[in-house]
Structure 1
Amino acid sequence: MTTGVERLFDELGHFKRFQACLYFAAIFQAISCGIHYLASVFLVETPKFLCNPPLNITDVLYKNLSFTSLADIWTHYKTGDGPVVVRTSQGDQWELSPCLKALRLDAINFQYEFFGNKSVESCGAFVYDHSEVEQSIVTDWDLVCEREWLAKLTQPTFMLGVLIGALMFGDAADRIGRRPVLMATSLCQFIFGVTVAFTGNYYLFVVMRFLLATVSSGYLVVVFVYVTEFTGIKVRTWTSMHVHAAFAVGIMVVALVGYLVRVWWIYQIILTLSTSPFLLYCWKFPETPFYLMAKGRYKEAQELLDTMAYINGLPPTLKVSDLQDGCDRTPLKDNKQAMEVEKRLSMLDMFGSLKMAGRSATCWAIWFIGSLGYYVFSLGSVNLGGNQYINLFLAGAVEVPSYLIGCFAMDRFGRKKTCAPALLLGGVACMLIIVVPQDVEVLAIVLSMTGKFAIAIAFGLIYLYTCELYPTIIRSLAVGSGSMMCRVGSVVAPFCVYLADIWIYLPQLIVGILAFIIGILTMFLPETLGEPLTSTLEEAEALGSKPNTKNTEVNALEMNQSIKA
């Protein structure tokens, strides 16, 4: 029989009616995190554009095509493939490019080629192709040419907010509880999400998106802990990994709404309202039993146990005192000594030996490539050619089976034998893009989605794998430092996506090469399937090198505390 707080799942069920209702209600709001993380794909979309033309245009030339209106050329115009030539009613001839325009001097015949003198000017304003993008922040605030960097800065600043939010609200959830943080971040997501739509200038837009990122990240970090503390160890792998599946649903919602709504502020409002029903019932969420017991709030814990028993159709016979077995039994002196030992530990202990240093470096690399690959494939899916809305939808859709297969494989074949092949598959798929002819867009999309599918498997299981690779005394530190590398990857990802301006498949190639190398390194990690959690650095270092004969029971409470980092 399991002892401690974990016993409640043996008594009240690992995933019965109460936990199921709470789980699906909590991860419903996680959909909004996927929405806001990827919303910038269409918020900052840049349509075709040219310098603002002179008034009274009578004729338009592009290559060997002639038109009477500038609006007619957009279906034929390709950025960077020559200027558009216009003639006014006064006879002036202008060459219009995206960032420059030139007045032809002493032009006689109206033809596309001109070898005479020109008077070049910078653009005072711009004209945009509104057939695909009716209105985005780029068209509203002219974030093109010398102001293009401002548009490209929006996603990195958002990801910086993600990093800060994870640090802030992860700590706050340990101090004041999971429930208050979930409620506060959900409410702020709604407020900031709507406010973003009514910002009147670029700088306020970036600030509000930054704040939105902090609360979205905060919710995603805390809901992961929340659902793991309400589900038993028999289903915890599945429930924790499928929080990511809710995030993937958010990506699909972005693709759908982006296809239907082409005005950015309406698009932003609809995305925010899509998960607003969560606010109607989140105040009914209980605090987790682990947190209540850890803080000594035994009366509330007993009420929660009785409620769980009632809703799960079981008699309310479980008492708080039953959950205290095995807890709080250690003499105070020993607790103080343990705390003193833990305080002396630092990140350097993860690199205390050559074997542990290699293990830590590889784990960090997996965290980094998991996040980098995830966001490169998601954000960059719209650059692959074909229909950008279908591409983004597929980028979210391939995640759902990846988590199902990942959960099955990691419990059947092992953590290492799932993670390493997934990274190698992702790497090979991405590198094969090199040999794909540029006009065969479907094959490039298939390879990119295969890469996203494989990277998602590795990204989903690294949380649990890291917990099992390190001993109790530095487990939280290991997961926390890995999470930091994950955030670094998410900040770097937008800059990697912008390399598509050099070559459309360059971001996928970079991710593929890194994933393949890290996949090879992962093969040198020890297997942890079926192994008990280690308690000391010596036991952890011995993983994979000799049988661990210590009869240690897996402490699921330690696992939860580690994941909270």
Structure 2
Amino acid sequence: MSKDTAIDLDRILQQLGAFGKYNIVNYALLLFPIYLAGMYGSVFVFEASDINYRCKIEQCEGLDDTSWLTSAIPLEGDRLSKCKRYAAIVGNETCRAFNTNITIGCDAIQYSHYVLLQFDLGCQNWKRTLIGTIHNSGLFVSLPLTGIMSDRFGRKKALAVASLMNGIFGFARSFSVNYVMMVVFEFLEAALGAGAYTTAFVLAMELVGPKGRVFGNTLINFIFTFGLMTLPGLSWWLQDWRQLLRIIYAPAMLVLSYIWLLNESVRWLLSKGRNEDAIEILRKAAKMNNVDISEELNPIFEMKVPEPKQTKNVDAENDRTSTFARVLKSRIIRTRVIVCSFLWMTCTFVYYGLSINSVGLGGNKYVNFMLVGFVEIPANFACLLVLDRFGRKKILIIMYILSACLCIGLSFIPKDHKLLSLIIYLSGKFSITVAYSSVYIYVSEVFPTSVRQSLLAICSSLGRVGSTLAPLTPLLALYYDNLPSIFFGSLALTASAMVLILPETLNVPLPDTIEEAERLARPKSVSAE
């Protein structure tokens, strides 16, 4: 596909309108799997949450009066110890006969509910937090795999298959009979299905022109946040991890129907030389939006499928492998992959880390998680206001620095100032959410169409080192309460400096060829639409 074709396509998308009837119908379909992804990405937080449990004291269990607890179990801070008890006085089996000078480990655990009860994970925090790590490690497989499928076979097929895998393995996980079975299905669900979100995102970004990308991204993030906030509400109501999994994963299987319902990305079709299919969809869009394309842009509707002689074009379908090889040989694009991967890793580490650690804050863990999710709504609205006005680079740098200052600042706030700590905590989540939303747009704008999702998937999968490590950060708090926040802030500060390496992409058409992507690094190539 030539440069002229790419520019014409963006101009046609502009004339069709960013959100006409055609776009609304397709966006409505895409928002459903995105809503589900909002729950799937953090379900492990409630699937294996750290609940109230303690040592089981056989001679005292079943008594209506619980005043014996402080006689049998030592305090750790202001709470009863979860994994220690006082030794019973030998020969005295009464409920209050304990030697408070001798502390021993639990013989058995008294649970309330959830995974810890059914798989006996009490006092094994590493096994509990490993569930989240196993889930996120699956993304190292899913994102590049789905990206390759998407770039080769089409966006809608990749989306449908990935969502089906989500539904099958997520639903099956609810019938786990032991810990090993659960973590295996946890991995498979993420490894084969987690790419559904990135596929839906790329398809949505390619559906509109430059002026509609930020608004489209904001809409996607609103729906994702709605899914994120639905999760603690369902978990609070159900109080049963098996029912929770069945309710949220069963609807994912419906997305298989998108193979027949959803329109393929016109930009992807053109990059593969399938011009007739692309033209048919553009005509359908113009008819649905009741728009007449101006005469100067009509030549794109006269395009024919390339003749065999034209196969030298590196962006044609027959040169998929050589195109990807050329991309990797480009020093400019290789540098972008490295930088974008680090930016993504920082966002996932801080974003998921703050979300996961929120359930450890004082108060109701479900409400805390909802608040941490709710703050993403104004954060995404802020993206809508500032990204198209001030550009991508400035906003990213400011948000990373702000997030670093807020996270590190938490360590200087006294423990008894809970309200102030919560405000600072939510402000840190606000700033990293703005950065995360900006990175998603930014990364989709700096790579060529023919390998856009593959490279986006590489950046995302490498960046998932952050989300893989994030579930383990609550263990750091066992040594120092604010150690997770200090880690978050240090990484964000480093990321702010690395943004300076990337080009500005404000109002620049999506690059369709390697040459166009490389020219983004040159100031003269950046021009308003």
Q: Select the structure with the greater relative contact order (CA < 8 A; seq sep ≥ 6).
A: 2
Residue 189 of structure 2 corresponds to residue 206 of structure 1: no
Distance 2:257 2:333 in 1: 48
**Residue number in structure 2 paired with 1:535:** 515
Q: State the Cα distance separating 1:83 from its structure 2 match.
A: 11
Residue 116 of structure 2 corresponds to residue 138 of structure 1: yes
Distance 1:23 1:209 in 2: 29
**Residue number in structure 1 paired with 2:365:** 388
**Residue number in structure 2 paired with 1:53:** 57
Q: State the Cα distance separating 1:279 from its structure 2 match.
A: 6.2
Distance 1:471 1:189 in 2: 29
Q: State the Cα distance separating 1:32 from its structure 2 match.
A: 0.9
Residues 434 and 509 of structure 1 are in contact (CA less than 8 Å); yes or no, is this contact kept in structure 2?
yes
**Residue number in structure 2 paired with 1:36:** 40
Residue 493 of structure 2 corresponds to residue 516 of structure 1: yes
Q: State the Cα distance separating 1:180 from its structure 2 match.
A: 2.0
Q: State the Cα distance separating 1:300 from its structure 2 match.
A: 4.3
User: In the superposition, relative to structure 1, how do residues 163 and 182 fare at CA in structure 2: closer, same or farther (>3 Å)?
Assistant: same
The more displaced of 517-526 and 334-343 is 334-343
User: In the superposition, relative to structure 1, how do residues 380 and 326 fare at CA in structure 2: closer, same or farther (>3 Å)?
Assistant: farther
TM-score by length of 1: 0.78
Residue 471 of structure 2 corresponds to residue 484 of structure 1: no
| Matched residue type, 1:254 | L
Residue 38 of structure 1 aligns to a residue in which SS?
Answer: coil
Residue 211 of structure 2 aligns to a residue in which SS?
Answer: coil
Which digits, 9 at most, give the CA deviation of each residue in 1:124-172, with x for residues without a partner? x3212x3xxxx21111111122x44222211111001122111111111
| Matched residue type, 1:21 | V
**Residue number in structure 1 paired with 2:76:** 80
Residues 210 and 508 of structure 2 are in contact (CA less than 8 Å); yes or no, is this contact kept in structure 1?
no
Distance 1:362 1:221 in 2: 19
The more displaced of 475-484 and 161-170 is 475-484
Q: State the Cα distance separating 1:551 from its structure 2 match.
A: 8.6
User: In the superposition, relative to structure 1, how do residues 77 and 238 fare at CA in structure 2: closer, same or farther (>3 Å)?
Assistant: farther
Q: State the Cα distance separating 1:278 from its structure 2 match.
A: 5.5
User: In the superposition, relative to structure 1, how do residues 384 and 201 fare at CA in structure 2: closer, same or farther (>3 Å)?
Assistant: same
Distance 1:347 1:29 in 2: 35
Distance 1:471 1:287 in 2: 18
| Matched residue type, 1:416 | K
Distance 2:79 2:207 in 1: 62
Residue 328 of structure 2 corresponds to residue 346 of structure 1: yes
Residue 76 of structure 2 aligns to a residue in which SS?
Answer: coil
Distance 1:440 1:239 in 2: 39
Q: Decide which structure has the larger Cα Rg and report it.
A: 1
Residue 365 of structure 2 corresponds to residue 405 of structure 1: no
Q: State the Cα distance separating 1:55 from its structure 2 match.
A: 4.8
**Residue number in structure 2 paired with 1:500:** 477
Residue 83 of structure 2 corresponds to residue 98 of structure 1: yes
**Residue number in structure 1 paired with 2:352:** 375
Distance 1:101 1:221 in 2: 52
Which digits, 9 at most, give the CA deviation of each residue in 1:497-523, with x for residues without a partner? 332222333212211222134324545
User: Which residue among 436, 451, 466 is the counterpart of 1:459?
Assistant: 436
Residue 290 of structure 2 corresponds to residue 313 of structure 1: yes
Q: State the Cα distance separating 1:383 from its structure 2 match.
A: 1.1
- Unmatched segments (≥5 aa) in structure 2: none
The more displaced of 284-293 and 35-44 is 284-293
Residues 144 and 458 of structure 2 are in contact (CA less than 8 Å); yes or no, is this contact kept in structure 1?
no
Residue correspondences, number: 516
User: In the superposition, relative to structure 1, how do residues 360 and 171 fare at CA in structure 2: closer, same or farther (>3 Å)?
Assistant: closer
Residues 162 and 213 of structure 1 are in contact (CA less than 8 Å); yes or no, is this contact kept in structure 2?
yes
Q: Identify the structure with the greater helix proportion.
A: 2
Residue 346 of structure 1 aligns to a residue in which SS?
Answer: helix
Residues 144 and 457 of structure 2 are in contact (CA less than 8 Å); yes or no, is this contact kept in structure 1?
no
| Matched residue type, 1:140 | Q
Which digits, 9 at most, give the CA deviation of each residue in 1:90-123, with x for residues without a partner? xxxxxx96256733225599867737889x6752
Q: State the Cα distance separating 1:553 from its structure 2 match.
A: 8.8
**Residue number in structure 2 paired with 1:9:** 13
RMSD: 4.1
Distance 2:366 2:339 in 1: 35
| Matched residue type, 1:22 | N
User: In the superposition, relative to structure 1, how do residues 213 and 69 fare at CA in structure 2: closer, same or farther (>3 Å)?
Assistant: same
Residue 114 of structure 1 aligns to a residue in which SS?
Answer: strand
Residues 58 and 69 of structure 1 are in contact (CA less than 8 Å); yes or no, is this contact kept in structure 2?
no
User: In the superposition, relative to structure 1, how do residues 367 and 216 fare at CA in structure 2: closer, same or farther (>3 Å)?
Assistant: same
Residue 171 of structure 2 corresponds to residue 218 of structure 1: no
User: In the superposition, relative to structure 1, how do residues 475 and 255 fare at CA in structure 2: closer, same or farther (>3 Å)?
Assistant: closer
Which digits, 9 at most, give the CA deviation of each residue in 1:304-337, with x for residues without a partner? 3443233323469999962466996997486369
Residue 455 of structure 1 aligns to a residue in which SS?
Answer: helix
| Matched residue type, 1:438 | K
Residues 8 and 323 of structure 1 are in contact (CA less than 8 Å); yes or no, is this contact kept in structure 2?
no
User: Which residue among 255, 262, 265 is the counterpart of 2:232?
Assistant: 255
Residue 422 of structure 2 corresponds to residue 439 of structure 1: no
Which digits, 9 at most, give the CA deviation of each residue in 1:15-74, with x for residues without a partner? 201211210221122111110111111110222223333257697xxxxxxx7458x859
| Matched residue type, 2:479 | I
Distance 2:35 2:301 in 1: 34
The more displaced of 231-240 and 425-434 is 231-240
Distance 1:264 1:388 in 2: 16
**Residue number in structure 2 paired with 1:228:** 205
Residues 507 and 527 of structure 2 are in contact (CA less than 8 Å); yes or no, is this contact kept in structure 1?
no
User: Which residue among 237, 246, 263 is the counterpart of 1:269?
Assistant: 246
Distance 1:264 1:422 in 2: 35
